[in-house]
Amino acid sequence: MTEKIKKNTTHFGFTEVPIQEKAQRVADVFHSVASKYDLMNDLMSLGLHRLWKRFTIAQSNIRPGQTVLDIAGGTGDLTRQFAKLVGKNGFVVLADINEKMLQHGRERLIDQGIVENVGYVQTDAEALPFPANHFDCITIAFGLRNVTDKIKAMRSMYRVLKPGGKLLILEFSKPVLPLLNSLYDIYSFKVIPKLGEWISRDAASYQYLVESIRMHPDQETLKNMMLDCEFEDVEFHHLTGGIVALHKGFKY
């Protein structure tokens, strides 16, 4: 147990805050950016987030009739594709802790005609309100770094997975090429907050998002955390030189 946990504090970006305050601070960030979230994703990643999500969908191997939980699903990019894959006999739950993001995602999916096999739940990843052994696949894309207690959240995910089910974690990670790492730092701290200021009128929220990426566990550390939560056959894939990584683990 680290000294910070003993003191009942955690990180909000680079700032140390009381554990009980982090969830509200994160909520305030996403309330602020919800309306421009999709546009900012395209600008910040130069459109690459679409390829990263497509790879995640491919790694899921989802089949018709299965059930999927999309945690921190936000505006529904993954949910939309999963709904098509599971078909009319399957079901996808779009879950998010943030009411405004969940509402935005619901409206977006309804506008796209996706209504029959998708449900919406506002919930904390640390305490998922679903029965044990319920889902064939769980995904969390660019959301785990915002969770206060990642171990507790992953254990909650493990509980609601069916035996044989898989967890996919898509998240910003640590670049594996030294030159890329330097360029990425410059882009992250100099460009992204400016984009947030110009597009969303909110540089501070995007400063937090950049800092939260740097505080997130690296690839090997997250793999070991998943193993500690009883996931098996855990592996990860570097995407775009390690700027992003996709971790996959199974419940047997």
Q: Phi first, then psi: give them for residue 231, nearest 5 degrees.
A: -70, 145
Average pLDDT over residues 66-70: 98
pLDDT at residue 3 greater than cutoff 80 = no
Q: Which residue has the tokens 């996959």?
A: 248
Question: How far does CA 134 lie from the centroid of its chain?
Answer: 20
- State the fold for domain 3-176+208-250: Rossmann fold (3.40.50)
Q: State pTM to two decimals.
A: 0.88
pLDDT at residue 60 greater than cutoff 70 = yes
End-to-end CA distance of the chain: 28
- pLDDT tens column, 164-221: 999 999 999 999 988 888 898 888 888 888 887 887 777 788 888 889 989 999 999 9
Q: How many CB atoms lie within 10 A of CB 115?
A: 10
Domain ranges for the chain: 3-176+208-250
Reported confidence tier of residue 5, pLDDT bands at 50, 70, 90: very low
